[in-house]
Amino acid sequence: MPPMATCYMVGMIYFYVPDDSRPNGGVAKIYHQVDVLNRHGIAAAVVHLAEGFRCNWFDNRTSIVYARTVRPAPQDFIVAAEIFGPDIARTAPGIRKVIFNQNCYNTFLHYPLDSGPGETPYLHPDIVAAITVSEDSLSYLTYAFPGARILRIHPGIDPGLFHPGEEKRPRIAFMPRRQLEEARQVFSILKFRGALEGFELAEIRDMNQAEAASLLRASAFFFSFSGAEGFGLPPAEAMASGCITIGFHGRGGREFFRPEFSWPVEMGDIETYARTAETLLHHYRADPAPLTEKARAAASFIASHYSLEQEEADILACWREIMSG
């Protein structure tokens, strides 16, 4: 495909990213978007504040610049995350901006809780579009901001990392980053009922991307403790890795957390979660084949609906629309 940058009035696209070295799938997706744009001849870079900073918990050679050197010009774009709240449009006035909203439930962080008319960057003339990552977020943002241009990308799952392993251990992988108390309740109920006997618990914490993927490939189960998520990469990556996946869909994950090959539970319903998990663990001990077959169906669904190729096509389609005015 020939470079597209020459077709549009665009200079550089600056993606502002917090200087945080802790594993965060949303940050990895920003780095990936920059890589995709550069690969297709569209100049883009991640902007960090601290000189020399680069996320190192996943492999990348992404173009990085530092805030001290950035001087946006009228032909440029600034891309900011939803977590920056109502201040997004106030930075660099007159420069075109895009909000990359990876969790619609963080949209109103830092907004005052009152009934006045207020302001929002989503309807500011400097904001030319918002990009989001799920059907749920697209619906939320379209309803919240009538008239705003809201575009959607399907997040891609890397099959080189997240694919079913040849051998599955009787292990339950989980990532209770935001829902630790819910995880404590579920696992405690199962423990005191004797339902965890023979199963190892493996928390995904302080691991780089390759280590987390390796753990998932060798785990029979993944218990999802997603909170209110824009998409929910951990359960999608677990399904891609052939894990029997049960738990909270986080709303954004409803589009892939389907009952035909997974076991979604409504957020906060601890008793249903524990009862469902106990039943599945019992069936797995008796005969793992039927559950393993459903896990394979989940992996196939993720591979076909959330491929890196689809994500790349979506990124390019979004930016073609944005840059064409």
What was the pLDDT predicted at 10?
A: 65
Among candidate residues 314, 262, 325, the one with its CA nearest the CA of residue 29: 314
What was the pLDDT predicted at 286?
A: 97
Contact, 275 vs 298, CB < 8 A? no
What is the CA angle 223-181-218, rounded to 5?
25
What is the value of pTM for the model shown?
A: 0.92
In the structure, what pLDDT confidence band is assigned to residue 5 with cuts at 50, 70 and 90? very low
What was the pLDDT predicted at 188?
A: 98
- Going through the chain in order, the beta strands assigned E by DSSP cover 13-16, 44-48, 64-66, 77-81, 96-101, 127-132, 150-152, 169-174, 200-203, 219-225, 244-248, 263-265
Distance CA 120, CA 94 (A): 16
Which amino acid type is present at position 197?
E
Contact, 101 vs 230, CB < 8 A? yes
pLDDT 10s digits, 304-317: 999 999 999 999 99
Is pLDDT above 50 for 6? no
Contact, 47 vs 31, CB < 8 A? no
